[in-house]
Amino acid sequence: MRPLKLVPDNTNIPFLKWRNVAMGLSILLIVGSIALCFVKGFNLGIDFVGGQQTRVTFTQPVEIPQLRERIEALGVGEATIQRAGTTNEYSIRTPLPEGGEDAANKAASAIRGAIVKSYPGAQVGGAQSVSGKVSEELFRNGAISLSLAMIAIALYIWFRFEWQFGVGALFALFHDVALTLGFFALTQLEFDLNIVAAVLTIIGYSLNDTIVVYDRIRENMRKYRKMEMEELLNLSINETLSRTVVTSLSIGIVLTILLVLGPDVIFGFTAAMLLGIVIGTFSSVYVSAAILLWLKLRPDSFLPKEASGPKGVEGAERVSFKDMP
């Protein structure tokens, strides 16, 4: 029985033929995502805004204004109520009361008692409490982690390959992070520490995919020093296409199942990861590789003169990607 091949051998797809359209779309999406982040902002979870959060699952439809009035009548402050997951599951967020842990426990007990009394059959989960100081530190540390991760990755690729590769990888990572953040600003899904972990994971996945393509580009630059750069990039992308498709598809199938059947607590994380797989695969082809052309990278730009390989010695005939078997 022959093994299943999702991608035929020796594909000859001119990916970079559409690089200008793809890059224009990417820039448009980046600008739109940044605008959404500033205009709409994020639905920050309790990890970042502090306070007390309680999840409640009702057995009947609930009028949110009426529920808010009953919660605020307890004297626990202004209540923010949002649907969380299923139709009758809600997240109730209130300010953290002064007086330490005892005051927080009393407020949580009051909320639980009022809900059970007014809505028989409702299931009230445990209350989570995060102080304002801790939430500020978490938000700051999360932003610093994302920034340092991207800078460190760009520097590594710069020294490992060449500065053009570092610029391409950094822009691709910025593209992936910006679009992910824009998605959460648009959908107003809760943004908590799980999403920060998802974004860091997306950075790792996108970087891995980009380095696989970059490594093949470097190998082909040693082998085909007379080939036009656009054709060499297309050749490298096609040679790694099977690996890219199989990896992305296998991870995407798992994430889709988790998105549909998984628990609500990881819905945001799973949605971020699934989106990251799509945009990370796109950026490794149409962003990180295309930038190498605009930065004037040449097959002989950082290779020693004595480097040689199949059809790679000085004076050899010019090789075309279209002539490859």
pLDDT band at 305 (very low <50, low <70, confident <90, very high): very low
Confidence of residue 316 (pLDDT cuts 50, 70, 90): very low
Higher pLDDT, 202 or 9: 202
Task: Answer yes or no: are the C-beta atoms of 230 and 308 closer than 8 Å.
Answer: no
Residue 303 clears pLDDT 60, i.e. is over it = no
Q: What pLDDT does 25 receive?
A: 92
Higher pLDDT, 2 or 255: 255
Structure confidence at residue 156 (pLDDT):
78
d(CA 122, CA 85): 15
Cα separation, 316 vs 115, whole angstroms: 81
Question: Which pLDDT value is given to residue 34?
Answer: 93
> For the chain, what percent of residues have pLDDT higher than 90?
12
Q: What's the pLDDT at 4?
A: 60
pLDDT of residue 287: 86
Where does the pLDDT of residue 308 fall: very low under 50, low under 70, confident under 90, or very high at 90 and above? very low
Q: pLDDT digits over 60-111, tens only?
A: 777 888 888 888 787 777 777 777 766 678 877 777 776 666 777 777 788 8
Q: What percent of the chain has pLDDT over 70?
A: 82
| Mean pLDDT, residues 260-281 | 86
Q: What is the mean pLDDT of residues 169-188?
A: 90
pLDDT at position 50 over 90:
no
Across residues 253-277, what is the average pLDDT? 87
Residue 223 has pLDDT above 80, yes or no: yes
